[in-house]
Amino acid sequence: VTAEQLQHYPPPIADGFRALAASIHGVEAQQVIATNGGDELLRLAVSTFVEPGQAVGVLEPSYSLYRVLADLNQSPAVRVPLAEDWSCPADAARTFNEARAKLVFVTNPHAPSGRLTPVVQLSALAGELDALVVVDEAYVDFVDPDLGHDAVPLVSNHENVLILRTLSKGYSLAGLRFGYGIGAPGIIEPMLTKTRDSYNVGVVGQRLAVAALESRDRAAQTWEAVRRERTRLREALAQLGLDTPPSQSNFLLATVPDWAGHARTLCDALEDRGVLVRHFDQGCLRDKLRITVGTPTDTDRLLGELKTCIAAASPIGAPPEPS
């Protein structure tokens, strides 16, 4: 990016980026909107399609911003708890419809569990719902390509599906603030022309985003490395007695068994040793830790410190022998 380019207002709707993203995803440019991080897309979806007072549907637990945005819009949040395996309960659509939710957030892969909902189930959900379905794919780049998962074709068959992508996770560009949405033209257009700030993404962001997508083969090597490490970390955690659901994201949600102490205590002890994991002090997440998959060195470090902390916390110092 040159000083000359910085001087001028950026392409207002990021044409270059839209065309590139559209060609990658096999859609038209008019089906893509570029946003100042994925968070802006979430805000635009609510403010464009939900009148104040109309309900917003949320599967819980999930990204806390969904409920913040509902509150800001003076919209009641209809909260449906996920099933124990983090899947969407069969009656969720009915509950959302009965509460007249105008928009439903679905995180896929789910955070913080990492669970992937197959496209066929998303399609069924979109078909049942009388709401706009925002499929938040912030972590989708880490899905195993062997699964052939691709939710984008949904937007051709469902006028009520908006897919969120971001460069913050899979492209390691969280500092840049660049996300985008994919949907039917009828969904993209009002956000683009009505509610969006006229120049919502700067020229630096647009340029780097184009460069990032153009060199996605390089990013894909990182995703593959994350998947390899995810498998190894998951097995090692299981050996330590910490179960995790299968994850298609770049983190694992580990349940801390009773004998290993409280998850919160373990989280703090790890932090004292310079290892950062996330603990959510809410509902079914209280006994769990979200552990981000890092480099092999990160994994070794984490496992070593985890072993030490558990040994210190537990009078047993090891999982009970299988009976």
Mark the segment that binds a copy of itself (CB under 8 A) among 16-24, 194-202, 227-235, 315-323.
194-202
Confirm or reject binding of residue 318 to a copy of itself (CB under 8 A): no
Confirm or reject binding of residue 124 to a copy of itself (CB under 8 A): no
Q: Are 200 and 35 in contact (CB under 8 A)?
A: yes
Phi, psi torsion values for 50, nearest 5 degrees: -125, 115
- Residue 220 has which token pair? 């894909």
**Looking at the chain, how many residues does it have?**
323
Neighbour tally for 199: CB within 10 Å: 14
Q: How far is the CB of 1 from a copy of itself (least distance, A)?
A: 8
Angle, to 10 degrees, between the axis of helix 65-72 and the axis of helix 37-49? 40
Confirm or reject binding of residue 138 to a copy of itself (CB under 8 A): no
Q: Are 263 and 288 in contact (CB under 8 A)?
A: yes
Nearer Cβ to a copy of itself (2/323): 2
Q: How far is CA 210 from CA 29, 115, 167, 216, 221, in A?
A: 14, 29, 11, 10, 18
Spell out the residues 6+ positions from residue 136 whose beta carbon is closer than 8 angstroms to its own.
38, 42, 63, 105, 106, 107, 108, 164
Out of 92, 93, 208, 269, name the contact with a copy of itself by CB under 8 A.
208
Please give the residues from 141 up to 170 whose contact with a copy of itself meets the rule CB under 8 A. Answer: 168
Return d(Cα 167, Cα 22) in angstroms, integer. 15
Out of 90, 120, 198, 320, name the contact with a copy of itself by CB under 8 A.
198
Please give the residues from 23 up to 52 whose contact with a copy of itself meets the rule CB under 8 A. Answer: 36-37, 39-40, 43, 47, 52
Residue with tokens 């210190």: 312
Q: How far is the CB of 322 from a copy of itself (least distance, A)?
A: 41
Confirm or reject binding of residue 85 to a copy of itself (CB under 8 A): no
Out of 23, 156, 157, 172, name the contact with a copy of itself by CB under 8 A.
172
Nearer Cβ to a copy of itself (69/237): 69
Nearer Cβ to a copy of itself (208/226): 208
**Sheet with 132-136: strands ordered across:** 32-35, 179-183, 161-166, 132-136, 101-107, 55-60, 77-81
3-state secondary structure string, 13-52? CCHHHHHHHHHHHCCCHHHEEEECHHHHHHHHHHHHHCCC
HSE-CB at 62 with a 13 A cutoff on CA atoms is: 32
- Residue 122 has which token pair? 């998303």
Q: How far is the CB of 205 from a copy of itself (least distance, A)?
A: 6
Neighbour tally for 87: CB within 10 Å: 15
Out of 183, 205, 241, 294, name the contact with a copy of itself by CB under 8 A.
205
Confirm or reject binding of residue 7 to a copy of itself (CB under 8 A): yes
Out of 72, 220, 238, 316, name the contact with a copy of itself by CB under 8 A.
72
Confirm or reject binding of residue 200 to a copy of itself (CB under 8 A): yes
Confirm or reject binding of residue 9 to a copy of itself (CB under 8 A): yes
Q: How far is the CB of 202 from a copy of itself (least distance, A)?
A: 4
Confirm or reject binding of residue 213 to a copy of itself (CB under 8 A): no
Question: Per-residue string for binding with a copy of itself, 250-289, x by CB under 8 A?
Answer: ----------------------------------------
Q: Total residues contacting a copy of itself (rule CB under 8 A)?
A: 37
Q: Give the footprint of a copy of itself on this chain (CB under 8 A).
A: 1, 3, 5-10, 36-37, 39-40, 43, 47, 52, 65, 72, 168, 172-178, 194-195, 197-205, 208
